[in-house]
Structure 1
Amino acid sequence: MTSTFFTYNKGKVIQALRYHFITRKEIKIMMILVNVFAIVAAALFFMKEVSAVSFLLSSFLWFALMISFWFLLPLIIYKKSDTFKDKFKATLGAENFSIENERGSRKWPWTAFTTSMESPHFFHLYFDTRSFFIIPKDAFKAEDLHEARKILSTKIRH
Structure 2
Amino acid sequence: MTVNFSYDKRQVLQALRFHFLSRPEIRVMIILVNVFALFSAALFYFKKVTPLAFLIGSLLWIFIMISIWFVLPGAVYRRAATFRDHFTMEFENDFFSLGNERGSRSWQWSSLTKFIETPNFFHLYFDPRSFFLVPKSSFGSSDAIFEIRQLFKEKIQKKA
Q: Which structure 2 segments of 5+ residues have no match?
A: none
- Once the two structures are superposed, the pairs formed by residues 26-105 of structure 1 within 5 Å of their partners are 26-105=25-104
Aligned residue for 2:146, secondary structure, equals: helix
Q: Which structure 1 segments of 5+ residues have no match?
A: none
1:1-51 residue CA offsets vs partner (Å, 9 max, x unmatched): x21000000000000000101111111111011001000000000100011
1:88-125 residue CA offsets vs partner (Å, 9 max, x unmatched): 00111111121000000011111111111001100000
Aligned residue for 2:127, secondary structure, equals: coil
Structure showing greater relative contact order (alpha-carbon pairs closer than 8 Å, 6 or more residues apart) = 1
* Equivalent AA in structure 2 for residue 154 of structure 1: E
* Equivalent AA in structure 1 for residue 74 of structure 2: L
Compute the displacement of 1:64 (Å). 0.6
Distance in 1 (alpha carbons) for counterparts of 2:7 and 2:118: 15
Q: What is the match of residue 145 of structure 2?
A: 145
Aligned residue for 1:146, secondary structure, equals: helix
Identity of aligned residues (%): 48
Distance in 1 (alpha carbons) for counterparts of 2:113 and 2:92: 17
Aligned residue for 1:127, secondary structure, equals: strand
2:99 counterpart of 1:115: no
* Equivalent AA in structure 2 for residue 93 of structure 1: E
Moved over 6 A (4+): none
* Equivalent AA in structure 1 for residue 107 of structure 2: W
TM-score by length of 2: 0.96
* Equivalent AA in structure 2 for residue 152 of structure 1: F
* Equivalent AA in structure 1 for residue 147 of structure 2: E
Compute the displacement of 1:145 (Å). 1.1
Task: Determine if contact 1:116/1:157 at 8 Å carries over to the other structure.
Answer: no
RMSD: 0.9
Aligned residue for 2:47, secondary structure, equals: coil
- Once the two structures are superposed, the pairs formed by residues 129-140 of structure 1 within 5 Å of their partners are 129-140=128-139
Distance in 1 (alpha carbons) for counterparts of 2:157 and 2:31: 27
Compute the displacement of 1:81 (Å). 0.5
Task: Determine if contact 1:99/1:107 at 8 Å carries over to the other structure.
Answer: yes
